[in-house]
Structure 1
Amino acid sequence: MAQKNLQDSSPSHCPEAAQTLMALMHAQGEVARLTEREQLFNTLLASVNAVLWAFDWETRRVLYVSPAYERIFGRSADLLLADCNQWRDSIHPDDLDYAERSLAEVLDKGAVEDREYRIIAADGQVRWLSDKCFINRQAEPGQPVIIVGFAEDITHKKQMETELHRLATTDALTQSSNRHHFFECAHREFAHARQQGEPLSFLMLDIDDFKTINDTYGHQEGDNVLQRIAESGRAALRRRDLFGRIGGEEFAAVFPGCTPQMALQVAERLHRQIQQLSFNHEGRTFGITVSQGLTSLSASDENVEDLFSRADAAMYQAKREGKNRIVTA
């Protein structure tokens, strides 16, 4: 009798139990599939070299941050979730105001896709981020304003851009501005001086007897002379001044906001530094001299070429008068 009751209560003889068992098995399968999907999702997020984030604008709380945050920022994601200022405090001080203003713009624009700013990682390295952000438009009225974003590490790209710009604007031998870049900047300074009514001076410099240096000591020593001239220019000129190599042995400088008297003082300081240079080639010591032409902005000047032409003529006058001097025009 007891055996009969046991058989009657088995799943095959109890539809309710069979259905419950089937539901449990189905639920377990769903949980397994969800777990598998979650693991796959987490694996994908961990492999992306960009930070996905979600931010509650009203409570100022970070709701989510992907694993790349810890790799790029070198900081704890748990600390960020507890205090959003962890991200803010990582932003380079020079970029902080822009980063905060551009984030706030998403409230009006709905999306801001051109944000680029620097962060200082925990190891002290400066990294560039391209941080695109969007407002959650699917939220119901009265629901929290959620901003989601995608912050990509573009440090390598920025480094490449910087290097390409350096190659395009710098004289390879002397590391000073090349001719194209020098005159591009000179045109801007001329326009600024005209607009603001500020003084501006232009200097031309040519190494005396440079061909003799090359013929006597060789072109490698001549290259060394050019490099030392460029170093002297960077040392003698003011921070805002422009200095560049515009020809074989010709250099030029622009002195923004510099009166003729001040410009002459800078030119004389450069002249003294160059006169103190000493070179040694196979036991033979020699020095160099330069001829300089200096001029300043006048009311009749229409463009920077007028200054260049006048300074160039003054420089050749210095050559004719015996070299190793400064002639003003």
Structure 2
Amino acid sequence: MVKHTPSSMSQHPPPEAAQTLLALMHAQGEVARLSEREQLFSALLDSVNAVLWAFDWESRKVLYVSPAYERIFGRPASLLLADYNEWRSSVYPDDLEYAERSLAEVLVKGAVEDREYRIMTADGQLRWLSDKCYINQQTDGDQGVIVVGIAEDITENKQLQGELQRLATTDVLTQSSNRRHFFDCARGAFEKARQDGTALAFLLLDIDDFKQINDTYGHPTGDHVLLRIADSGKTVLRRGDLFGRIGGEEFAAMFPDCTPEMAQHVAERLQREIQRLSFSHDDQTFGVTVSQGLTGIVDSDETLDSLFARADAAMYQAKRQGKNQIVLG
């Protein structure tokens, strides 16, 4: 018969104790795994450049907001969780009505995925958000309506879009409208004048002897002349007038709700402004002049092309008559 010493018995615990120990070890393992998952989930939420949120529609209370809120909004999450109006105060004032109205549309549509509005951070930065929202389909009826959403920071995308738009519509040298953008805007202004029955004037301007300037002083100096002419146009023209560079040394302007006779006063001021400009190159100083052709809508059969052709003919007539003058066409 084998006798069990106390030490040998301690190495073999009763079955019930072993099962309890195994269960405890398993539970500890599950807790560790859950903790790891929670840490991973929290890290993922913190790394995403978007805010996850949940909102109780009936009580007007924010139930949850992810860690990215404080980074994007620059405001403590605790204030938002305590008071829904914290979100309202963060929305850029011009966009608040749209942001609230589009949020309410989720009650009808079930989902709103095209919301874009601006917010102001606590330190005064302006940011663009794409804030999609949905009705939580798993909500218990006793809970009321819970709206969940994701607000993504799209500020960089908006800035890129703005820069691409600027490059597509702006003359690189003079920073005025390029030919395509000018005529796109001019076409819209022309159609509006036709529909409203209002006056409209069209002007073409060409720098006199510009080739000689380039040949004598070099193209960098010629570019400087173009830039100063464009600046003069932007300074003299009225608010709402259109102005752009449509060729090498040729500029155009359109004057909505303005007869050619009224526009001539603006053209004369521009002529004087340009005559006062002074340029220098290698101790040589020189000035420039421009020839302008000006016309307006004369009958119901008028088109933008006919306006352009008449202004162009008037401008070349100004060239033939000695340059540095304005001719009405």
Deviation at 1:294, TM superposition (A): 1.1
Deviation at 1:34, TM superposition (A): 2.3
Aligned amino acid, residue 116 of structure 2? E
Would the aligned equivalents of 1:206 and 1:251 in 2 still touch at CA under 8 Å?
Answer: yes
Aligned to 1:104: 104
SS of 2:150's equivalent in the other structure is: strand
Deviation at 1:18, TM superposition (A): 6.5
Aligned to 1:297: 297
Gaps of 5+ in 1: 1-10
Give identity over the alignment, percent: 72
Aligned to 1:7: none
1:154 equivalenced with 2:168 (yes/no): no
Aligned amino acid, residue 225 of structure 1? V
Q: Please provide the CA RMSD for this pair.
A: 2.4
Gaps of 5+ in 2: 1-11
| Cα distance between partner residues in 2 of 1:239 and 1:299 | 26
CA 1:19 to 1:73, structure 2 compared with 1: closer, same or farther past 3 Å? same
Aligned to 1:92: 92
Would the aligned equivalents of 1:301 and 1:307 in 2 still touch at CA under 8 Å?
Answer: no
1:250 equivalenced with 2:272 (yes/no): no
SS of 2:129's equivalent in the other structure is: strand
Deviation at 1:204, TM superposition (A): 0.4
Deviation at 1:26, TM superposition (A): 4.3
Aligned to 1:4: none
| Cα distance between partner residues in 1 of 2:28 and 2:117 | 47
Would the aligned equivalents of 1:275 and 1:289 in 2 still touch at CA under 8 Å?
Answer: yes
Residue-by-residue CA offset, 1:177-229 (whole Å, 9 max, x unaligned) = 11111111111111122222222211100011111211221111111100101
CA 1:110 to 1:319, structure 2 compared with 1: closer, same or farther past 3 Å? same
| Cα distance between partner residues in 2 of 1:59 and 1:261 | 64
| Cα distance between partner residues in 1 of 2:151 and 2:296 | 49
Which is worse superposed, 137-146 or 207-216?
Answer: 137-146
- TM-score of the aligned structures, taking structure 1 as reference length: 0.91
SS of 2:133's equivalent in the other structure is: strand
| Cα distance between partner residues in 1 of 2:301 and 2:274 | 30
Aligned to 1:265: 265
Would the aligned equivalents of 1:203 and 1:252 in 2 still touch at CA under 8 Å?
Answer: yes
SS of 1:174's equivalent in the other structure is: coil
Aligned to 2:286: 286
Aligned amino acid, residue 177 of structure 2? S
| Cα distance between partner residues in 1 of 2:48 and 2:249 | 51
| Cα distance between partner residues in 1 of 2:105 and 2:118 | 19
Aligned to 2:205: 205
Deviation at 1:52, TM superposition (A): 0.8
Aligned to 1:8: none
Would the aligned equivalents of 2:202 and 2:260 in 1 still touch at CA under 8 Å?
Answer: no
Would the aligned equivalents of 2:207 and 2:288 in 1 still touch at CA under 8 Å?
Answer: yes
Aligned amino acid, residue 196 of structure 1? D
| Cα distance between partner residues in 2 of 1:124 and 1:115 | 22
Which is worse superposed, 193-202 or 74-83?
Answer: 193-202
Aligned to 1:54: 54
1:37 equivalenced with 2:54 (yes/no): no
Deviation at 1:175, TM superposition (A): 1.1
1:66 equivalenced with 2:28 (yes/no): no
CA 1:326 to 1:301, structure 2 compared with 1: closer, same or farther past 3 Å? farther
CA 1:208 to 1:95, structure 2 compared with 1: closer, same or farther past 3 Å? same
Aligned to 2:324: 324
Deviation at 1:149, TM superposition (A): 1.0
CA 1:23 to 1:160, structure 2 compared with 1: closer, same or farther past 3 Å? same
- TM-score of the aligned structures, taking structure 2 as reference length: 0.91
Deviation at 1:303, TM superposition (A): 2.3
Residue-by-residue CA offset, 1:8-56 (whole Å, 9 max, x unaligned) = xxx95584x7666655554444333322221111111011111111111
Residue-by-residue CA offset, 1:241-297 (whole Å, 9 max, x unaligned) = 111111111000111222334322222221221111111111111111111111112
CA 1:198 to 1:97, structure 2 compared with 1: closer, same or farther past 3 Å? farther
Would the aligned equivalents of 1:187 and 1:303 in 2 still touch at CA under 8 Å?
Answer: no
| Cα distance between partner residues in 1 of 2:94 and 2:159 | 18
Aligned amino acid, residue 248 of structure 1? G
Aligned to 2:169: 169
**What is the number of equivalent residue pairs in this alignment?**
323
Matches within 5 A, 1:157-236: 157-236=157-236
| Cα distance between partner residues in 2 of 1:113 and 1:167 | 29
SS of 2:176's equivalent in the other structure is: coil
Would the aligned equivalents of 2:207 and 2:291 in 1 still touch at CA under 8 Å?
Answer: yes
